[in-house]
Amino acid sequence: MIASQIRRARLEDVLGAIGHENVQGEEQQKLDVIANEILLACLGSRSGVAIVASEEGEEPMILRTETDGAKRYCVLFDPLDGSSNLDVAGGVGTIFSILRYEPGGAPEQSVLQPGARQVGAGYILYGSSTVFVSTTGSGVQMFVLDPAVGAFLRVEENLRIPASGKIYSANEGNRAAFPQGYRDYLDWAQSHGYSGRYVGAMVADVHRTLLKGGVFLYPPTEKAPAGKLRLLYEANPMAMLVEQAGGRAETGEGRILDVQPETLHQRIPVVLGSADEVARVLEHL
């Protein structure tokens, strides 16, 4: 449904900003709201889902808390990552994280679990094709939507990220505001023949990194000293995928999946990708 809306966005005049800000103070795009509503409606009908939490919402939404001996889950998601790319027909995506629901506590506490406790994670990239990449802790699988039959077909099983790759992905417009170690790394990479690739949508940049190798960086800056990417909605699910594919995912001070979340919309620095390339970044830090 989201892929179809994106393909017809300009025809149906649902591009651009809606005129409101989300809980993070960021201007919402029309399709942010549409994608969010589609996901809430879909997940709300699933008996196994106890709580949903969206990057666009202020608080988690409690759907059902009774257990009846059945397993229940919390699903956290960024409904439309990189939505500002839509105006220029750029790649965008949906990112999701799945945690086991633990009854008895406050709803927010149920979703404030370290990424290492995720039972599943994945993303959907809406690009030249609609690609669905997921893990449940036993490797990474990749599917592509065949619109002719309305189904996702598996095209890659146990996807592995290359151990190295001479590509870095970072918003170099913020370079002057990066900590010195990141600037030193970029100097080193450019002097060793690395190429820069940056789409401006985490899904698209991480997808390329998974397939081609390299490293994706979103360092802290003077303006965002804690980092910009959200721990629960972006960093944790992508870190699980990258590690399951044989890569590394770090904050610059430790493993992303070991961070204990303190707030629902906590932000964090991100360094993830090929194991050798992440190690080179950390050497400079």
- Rounded CA separation 13/31 (Å): 10
Scanning the structure block, which residue is given the tokens 């002719």?
Answer: 148
Q: Which residues pair with 152 in a beta bridge?
A: 145
DSSP element (H, E) containing 208: helix 202-212
Mean of all residue pLDDT scores within the chain? 91
Q: Which residues pair with 77 in a beta bridge?
A: 54, 96
- Rounded CA separation 259/51 (Å): 21
Q: Which residues pair with 217 in a beta bridge?
A: 271
Question: DSSP letters along 72-132, please?
Answer: -EEEEEEEEETGGGGGGT--EEEEEEEEE--TTS-HHHHH---GGGEEEEEEEEESSSEEE
* 200-254 confidence digits (pLDDT tens): 999 999 999 999 999 999 999 999 999 999 999 999 999 999 999 999 999 999 9
Scanning the structure block, which residue is given the tokens 């608080």?
Answer: 59
For the record, the structure tokens of 171 come out as 């918003």
Residue 137 burial (CB count, 10 A): 11
* 175: DSSP letter: G
Annotate 62-92 with b (16+ C-beta within 10 A) or e (fewer).
ebbeeeeeeebbbbbbbbbbbbbbbeeebbb
Cα angle for residues 176, 258, 82 (degrees, 5° grid): 50
Global pTM reads 0.93
Q: Of 76, 130, 142, 143, which Cα lies nearest the Cα of 107?
A: 76
* 63-120 confidence digits (pLDDT tens): 887 766 678 999 999 999 988 887 888 889 999 999 999 877 777 788 999 999 999 9
Domain residue extents for the chain: 2-156, 167-284
Mark out the alpha helices in the chain (DSSP H runs): 2-7, 30-44, 107-111, 180-191, 202-212, 236-244, 275-284
* 13-47 confidence digits (pLDDT tens): 766 565 555 555 566 678 888 999 999 999 998 98
Q: Which CATH architecture has domain 2-156?
A: 2-Layer Sandwich (3.30)
Q: Which CATH architecture has domain 167-284?
A: 3-Layer(aba) Sandwich (3.40)
